[in-house]
Structure 1
């Protein structure tokens, strides 16, 4: 069996997904996927958007564990973001792990820790997700997080991802054709399972994921989506304070 054929049966959609299309460029979905081999299920909150209509915003919450905003919703609304998730990793002293750029300002420096295998960033031209060795820094970058590990690359799950330590996960993925998704799982799974789920056609996204990267998960996992007037937003609050957030805002 070829690799692509094997991936097709790793994870499959489980039942009808909850979906709300805000526009052609923005949609919310709550999807559940199942692994037929053992019945394991994962449910994820997903915000789909296009890079032609939206940009990324990194919201820095400051150097103290006391939250700058009372809720995740309040933080994203204060910055005009229609959706978002928790952001990158941080040290025990509350300093970010890896390069962080917020509103064009550099909050922390580039690091070479093994887990920080990629960078997700946004400038006036678009949104980019690249390997650390391919990153080309420039002053027009408005928002950036150095994070990892890479979960999917060229449509295939990355080899060597951890198959232990299941926990809630946060991620960002793209088909590399202008379609993007930020997501947070409401159930626990390993990094290897998340990579396989994202690379399984139709399991969590309606389009083929070309590349995806992990964000800080576990007790940091959070999600927000503004469903518009008259409807409550979708929120998944982190279990502990976080250093920064990754939001999407209209261009």
Structure 2
């Protein structure tokens, strides 16, 4: 996971740059009356800031939305990638991309021994409706929920903006497989937790790294996927990715596979 940590160090500089180039209306403040608390997952730590992704529901930001947290003692906390923290702040959100807040206090909720993924709090039995209600992108056996989160991830990441997505898919037996997908401004990372799958291989946690995000559209079907090649034409995708028997089978991570309206 060292490669993720090194690449994510660029995020804070990107956040500052975006605030400089985005018009003033893009970095305006959203004011609320009282202090708020926010749970978040640590993506990277800098001298006086922490790049995070929102963890769980709240009344300030949407679940798993990236947010930059300004905190003068950030380095002293010695937070590891994937740590779940609780942030106390004054309720003010700087509406940049990603949003920014200033923390008054930070409390560690869950430390992640192997850096990633921070999925310990998710129960062993995690049904479709629970994952949907928690604001995750969910691929069930019969239906899909919160597809707009994939669109947000695609939109942010293709602009070079930090993006984060948590996906849950289900085996035929109904076991949840959880994948955290991270874009750090240059690379894509897919970190899969298959520990709840009763028939998973010995390797319960799998991390893969990719350079590009692509889309395949044909006959009202849209697939969003990560790969190390850009602009793969539909015929090549069908041969190299969709056909597992191809001699030239190409590694790719299917982020979403959905039918779209004609």
Say yes or no: TM over 0.5: no
TM-score (structure 1 length as normaliser): 0.23
Q: Quick one: higher RCO (CA 8 Å, sep 6+), 1 or 2?
A: 1
Higher helix proportion (structure 1 or 2): 2
